[in-house]
Each structure stands twice: as structure tokens, then as C-alpha cells.
Amino acid sequence: MRILVATLFGVACALASNANAAVTVLGPGPAQECFDFAENGGDLHEGLIRCSFALESTLSVPDRAATFVNRGVLRLGLHQNEQALADINSGIALDPVSGDTYIDRGAAAMALGRYDDALQDLNKGISLSPHRPHIAYYDRAIIDERNGDIRAAYYDYKKALELEPNFAPAAMELKRFRVVHKQSGSGGGV
């Protein structure tokens, strides 16, 4: 029997707020600037201004949805978690088929301590073939570990790293795990 053991158990859910994905907006203008701030960082307050300005302009439905989500990502970075969730919900209302959007909503739910909601959104995001599935697996691993399911956490961190081999947060978390082989009197099994 193999047993997974996590050393230094106790992952801070604050890490989840750093694992968000911006949603792409096409074309120049304030919505693109909003995306750039959400994707690349910078002055988050300035990014919020750009996003809000973009939302006051005429945008296509997909760009409006993405801009709401991107503003939500920026708000997560500023720990404005309730407002982030509201923005992301507005984005989902306009475009309910973006896997990345559900992953971002999962991160917002995690930041608010709503782990069951987060898990549901992360699973839905994965099922919708997101652009950055490794983020969903990473966030889900945090919830798995928080819920005491060390085996599931290990496999989700591994999956995140398999999908994105240069994803340092997952690589760091996996360093805390070791596989222990334990003899079983029942003739084997996992």
C-alpha cells in the first residue's frame, strides 16, 4: 500500500489569490489595458480604473464579460474579495462557457472561505477546457489538502505541474510530499 504524506501541512489559501488567469480581450483600448493589468500586474488600482473605464464604453458581449472578469482578478489582488466575486459573476452571466472564468470564480470563493463553492467552480472550469487548466488543478489541490485529502492534493499538484512544467507554485508544493510504501497484510492494494 502506498500512502502519501505531506510535510509542513497547512497551505495558506492566500496563495490561491495569486493563481488567477486574466481573460483575453481583443483589440486596443481600455478593455485591452484592463487585460494587460490583470495578466501582467502593475499598479492594481490603475488597472481597476482602466477596467471601470472600459466597462463604461461600448464593448462586445465577450469583451464586456472578459473585462468584468479581469477587473475581478485585479480586485482579488487587492483583497477586495466580495467585489471580485461580484465582477466575476457579472462576467459569467454574460459568457457562461469560459472555463477560465469559472477558475477565477473558484479563486474568489477560496479567498472568501467558500471551499465547496470553489471546488464546484474549479471542476466546472476544468470540464470546459480552459486555457490554463494547471491553475485549476493547483487551486483544487489547495482545497484537497485543506479538506485532509492528501492523496488528491498530491495528484492535483502533480497534474498542475504536468500541464505546465514551469509552474513554480506546484513544484514548490510537491517538495513537501513524499510517497511512503507501507506493507499491507491483505495482499496489496493502493
Mean pLDDT on 149-166:
97
Average pLDDT, the chain: 86
For residue 185, what pLDDT band results from cuts at 50, 70 and 90? Answer: low
pLDDT the model gives residue 179 = 81
Where are the alpha helices (H) located in 78-188, listed in sequence order?
Answer: 81-94, 99-111, 115-127, 133-146, 150-163, 168-174
CATH number (1.10.287, 1.20.950, 2.40.10, 1.25.40) of 22-96 reads 1.25.40
Question: Which residues of the chain does CATH 1.25.40 include?
Answer: 1-19+126-190, 22-96
CATH number (1.10.3470, 2.10.270, 3.90.25, 1.25.40) of 1-19+126-190 reads 1.25.40
Q: Is the pTM of the predicted complex or chain greater than 0.75?
A: yes
For residue 22, what pLDDT band results from cuts at 50, 70 and 90? Answer: low
Set of cell numbers at residue 142:
489547495
The model's pLDDT over 44-59, given as tens digits with 9 standing for 90+, comes to 999 999 999 999 999 9
For residue 20, what pLDDT band results from cuts at 50, 70 and 90? Answer: low
